[in-house]
Structure 1
Amino acid sequence: LRLLDCSCGLFEEGATDPLWEQEPLLAQISAASVQGMVATGDRAGRKVRRRLTDPEDGVRSGALCYAARGFSLHAATRIEATDRRRLERLCRYVIRPPVANGRLRFIDEDTLVFTLKTAWADGTCQLLLSPHELLEKLAALVPPPRLNLVRYHGVLAPACPDRARIVPGPSPLTQAEGCEHGGAGRHHAHRVSWDKLLARVFQYDVTVCPNCSGHMKVIAALTAPSAIETFLNAVGLPSRAPPIAPAHLDRQLEFDEAA
């Protein structure tokens, strides 16, 4: 908001509301009414209380698809664990950016046009935005810091009494080490180590010695280019970077393609 105020004068200094000057109580009541809040009394500043009826039953929106209470569940896409190609397509669909590059283009130096995938009910098919306005809309999509975007329901919910029977607890080795060292046993790290990441992604354990199959450990980290080149030449490995290959086609995947 400070950036918007500085760049385009969103909030004008000295701007006053005539109603607020003449009838401050009425202005406060009007503002609270628009926001669904209570302006006076013991509950001032709180939201208006509501009573809800039982929501309507959900509807089946397709094969293995269900919609209810504003949420939709899609379970029609099934991929075998060994089908890495289709799994990659699905992952790329899930992590797709909020704006498809193919539907956003400049029409002049100061105006972008964004083509909607489906026209709105009033016939709107494109949105015209300035670069500043586009950044404003994208900023609204960024979640606040440290906001948990994952919600667990049922037996995986944090307060479920049966959660401990499903979610695995600490291993016996961890508990034994904690008792032996006075509680200083292993603790769960927030970040996975680089060697475990390589083993998970490429199915290759870099800590296993290729000669004796023993466990290797890091003894030094070489950062100087001359030292790195000397070491690679000594062990018979190429010291020059390989040529850069053309990048793969990076196009936006539709959900039907990922299925």
Structure 2
Amino acid sequence: MDQRPRVNLTRFHGVLAPNSKHQINVTPAKRGKGYAKKILSNDSQNSLAESHKSLTWAERLKRVFKIDVSTCGPCGGEAKIIACIEDPEIIEKILTHLDAKSDAPANHLPKSRTPPQG
């Protein structure tokens, strides 16, 4: 039996349904139908915009890959992030200057193959 195209394979019911007003009480992201009303009804001084603050890239690395870039590996002290360098040429110059080698393998694409014949 084939699945129909463009139809979700997972359906949520009850408090996990997309339209549930109780979804904010059971999901870690605290998103749901009644979220804006709950924020506006609280006596706290946080606005709706402040409550939807995005994670920084360092927080995302820590959350997803369990990499904490805010602590120094050798001493365990607090590290200060001063730059984010993404240009491969500059990274190579810095590593060459520090007489270090990159542990990451070169990003080579596999050789292209012809499609299967048959």
Give TM class, smaller chain: 0.3 to 0.5
Q: If each structure's strand is expressed as a fraction of its own residues, which one has the higher value?
A: 1
- TM-score, L = length of structure 2: 0.45
Q: Using CA pairs under 8 Å that are at least 6 residues apart, name the structure with larger relative contact order, 1 or 2.
A: 1
TM-score, structure 1 as length reference? 0.26
